[in-house]
Amino acid sequence: MPYILSLDQGTTSSRAILFSHSGEIAAQAQHEFQQIYPKPGWVEHDSFEILTSQISSAVEALGKAGVRPRDVAATGITNQRETVIVWDRETGRPVYNAIVWQDRRTASRCKELTGSGAETMIRERTGLVIDPYFSATKIAWILENVDGARQRAEDGKLAFGTVDSWLIWNLTSGTKHVTDTTNASRTLLFNIVTGQWDDDLLKLFGIPRSMMPEVVWSSEPVGDVTTTLALSGIRIAGIAGDQQAALFGQLCLHPGDAKNTYGTGCFLLEHIGNQFVQSKHRLITTLAASVERRLEYALEGSIFIGGAVVQWLRDNLRMIRTSSEVEELAMSVPDSDGVVFVPAFVGLGAPHWDPYASGMLIGLQRGTQPGHIARAALESIAFQVADVLDAMRSETGQAIPELRVDGGAAVNDMLMQFQADLLGVPVVRPQVTETTALGAAYLAGLAVGFWKDPKEIWSHRKSDTRFEPKMHPAEVQARRERWNHAVERARGWSR
């Protein structure tokens, strides 16, 4: 069986990529789906649209390559994390739309929990901060606001899952209600020291234990696809939240290895080994995907709006027709001419964790052109990553030798060069930038013997593109100070 199928379920689209044994892309397909905004700060998805878009992409990818299910050794699933789906165990129907990780509706509840002194216990057990970003308060909101949901949950009739659980439940005809350690570690309900759902945390958030999926390792066969004829019999053998999948896809397997994914958001992860460390600088500690079937950890800085700022220029301001046009527009001017863009559309993530921050565009003049705004938008991505890396350096006490990068916006040479300039270290981009999907493929392939070990995978890796720092340190400092001033003005705006 010469292929591994990766199901990459993202925030704005579902993709399927078929990888060969050498790690090259044999075929791929992608389907976008609707973003639902019922109220300011609320973000939802249609759970069935997530499912159908993912299955359609998988079937299409196999069709493009002329591949049958029996030609696929296994499939790996990677997914948008923290997004919450609650469904009826008997009917399989969700009781409410999927509440997306970007959603801020539970900000007041999180403030109450912080005020009650719960954060110390939560950080000690989960490595996370109390924030609407994570799953627990979203689950609680559904139970409290959907008619009859609380009682049905108490009666054991409802199931909770992040998107990986929802996909696997449906692909296996409702026989497998599972998640992996990396997705579990994003819920505020999983103790990443003991590796179990935590009864005290479930009680704190008012969530019945009967709703929770079984937790499995990221690289482990869990069941075969049974519901879709065109995929029937393919073994599901890899699961990881998108950022942990990307960390593994970049083969960041040892302490000190770090990567940043430029997707809808940006997520900087550094592998820190097999000992839990609680962050002192408002980063989070999370579980990394492991083929050793042991708990391994990473520090993470989560940026809510990364590549999504380009979509905003395209869809809201209509400055560009396609996202790929943004680099040309930004390159039409030599610099941003003092324009600074703080894309805090859904608050600010690490290291600020301000759910009340608001998006801001400042420094506009009579001579400001669309190119200046486009350049400021791209630069905002790099500035946010630099803020997170500063916090990470403070945490570990050591500088990383290089930053490995991936994701859609990583193909932008201008952005990657500016990122290297700000960080003062090389930025390294692999030939295959779809490392999130590749990581899920690696996890599945290693579980079924498609690849023997990570060393074999390394032997297939193609040469990378390196971006070396070029900007004078004084210029870097001046630009970062201007950015910091803008961030301070944006903070707390919508309180």
Contact 361, 344 (CB under 8 A): no
Same domain, 261 and 355: yes
Q: What pLDDT is recorded for position 332?
A: 94
Peptide bond into 454 cis (omega under 30): no
Within its chain, how far is the Cα of 110 from the centroid? 21
Q: Sorting pLDDT into bands at 50, 70 and 90, what band is 96?
A: very high
- Mean of pLDDT values over 155-159: 96
Residue 1: pLDDT over 80: no
Hunting for tokens 């700022």 — which residue is that? Answer: 309
**Which residues belong to the annotated binding site for ADP?**
11, 15, 264, 307, 408, 412
Q: Is residue 186 part of a domain?
A: yes
Q: Is residue 444 part of a domain?
A: no
Average pLDDT, the chain: 92
Q: How far apart are CA 393 and CA 440, in angstroms?
A: 28
Most confident of 127-131, 144-148, 431-435, 454-458: 144-148
- Mean of pLDDT values over 56-62: 95
Q: Sorting pLDDT into bands at 50, 70 and 90, what band is 446?
A: very high
Q: Is residue 447 part of a domain?
A: no
- Mean of pLDDT values over 42-63: 95
Q: What pLDDT is recorded for position 269?
A: 93
Residue 433: pLDDT over 80: no
Hunting for tokens 């023997």 — which residue is that? Answer: 452
Q: What pLDDT is recorded for position 159?
A: 97
Q: pLDDT: is 450 or 350 the higher one?
A: 450
Query: Above pLDDT 70, what percent of the chain?
Result: 100
Last residue of a domain, one of 186, 210, 243: 243
Contact 1, 72 (CB under 8 A): yes
Q: What pLDDT is recorded for position 187?
A: 96
Q: What pLDDT is recorded for position 228?
A: 81
N- to C-terminal Cα separation, the chain? 56
- Mean of pLDDT values over 472-483: 95
Same domain, 237 and 322: no
Same domain, 162 and 203: yes
Q: Is residue 277 part of a domain?
A: yes
Residue 72: pLDDT over 80: yes
Same domain, 180 and 311: no
Within its chain, how far is the Cα of 223 from the centroid? 24
Q: What pLDDT is recorded for position 396?
A: 79
**Which residues belong to the annotated binding site for sn-glycerol 3-phosphate?**
11, 81-82, 133, 242
Q: What pLDDT is recorded for position 145?
A: 96
Same domain, 190 and 273: no
Q: Is residue 372 part of a domain?
A: yes
Same domain, 124 and 213: yes
Which of 71-75, 182-186, 409-413 has the least mean pLDDT?
A: 409-413
Same domain, 255 and 157: no
Q: Sorting pLDDT into bands at 50, 70 and 90, what band is 460?
A: confident
Q: Sorting pLDDT into bands at 50, 70 and 90, what band is 461?
A: confident
Same domain, 133 and 269: no
Query: Above pLDDT 90, what percent of the chain?
Result: 74
SS3 assignment, position 225: coil
Same domain, 313 and 230: no
Q: Look at residues 329, 314, 289 and name the one whose alpha carbon lies nearest to residue 32.
A: 314
Last residue of a domain, one of 243, 269, 296: 243
Q: Sorting pLDDT into bands at 50, 70 and 90, what band is 281?
A: confident
The count of domains in the chain is 2
Q: Is residue 445 part of a domain?
A: no
Output b/e per residue, 173-210; b: 16+ Cβ within 10 A: ebebbbbbbbbbbbbbbbbbeeeebbeebbebbebbee
Which of 151-160, 302-311, 452-461 has the least mean pLDDT?
A: 452-461
Q: How far apart are CA 485 and CA 495, in angstroms?
A: 19
Same domain, 168 and 276: no
Hunting for tokens 């499912």 — which residue is that? Answer: 51
Contact 234, 228 (CB under 8 A): no
Contact 347, 356 (CB under 8 A): yes
Q: What pLDDT is recorded for position 350?
A: 82
Q: What pLDDT is recorded for position 474?
A: 96
Q: Sorting pLDDT into bands at 50, 70 and 90, what band is 392?
A: confident
**Which residues belong to the annotated binding site?**
11-13, 15, 81-82, 133, 242-243, 264, 307, 311, 408, 412
Same domain, 83 and 20: yes
Q: What pLDDT is recorded for position 331?
A: 93
SS3 assignment, position 488: helix
- Mean of pLDDT values over 278-302: 89
- Residue 213 lies in domain: 3-243
Residue 109: pLDDT over 80: yes
Same domain, 267 and 191: no
Contact 405, 413 (CB under 8 A): no
Q: Is residue 289 part of a domain?
A: yes
| DSSP string across 117-142 | TTHHHHHHHHS----TTSSHHHHHHH
Residue 372: pLDDT over 80: yes
Last residue of a domain, one of 219, 243, 267: 243
Task: Tell me the pTM.
Answer: 0.84
| DSSP string across 314-347 | HHTS---SSGGGHHHHHTTSSS-TT-EEE--BTB
Q: What pLDDT is recorded for position 131?
A: 87
**Which residues belong to the annotated binding site for ATP?**
11-13, 264, 307, 311, 408
**Which residues belong to the annotated binding site for glycerol?**
81-82, 133, 242-243
Q: Is residue 233 part of a domain?
A: yes
Could you tell me the CATH number of the domain that includes residue 73?
3.30.420.40
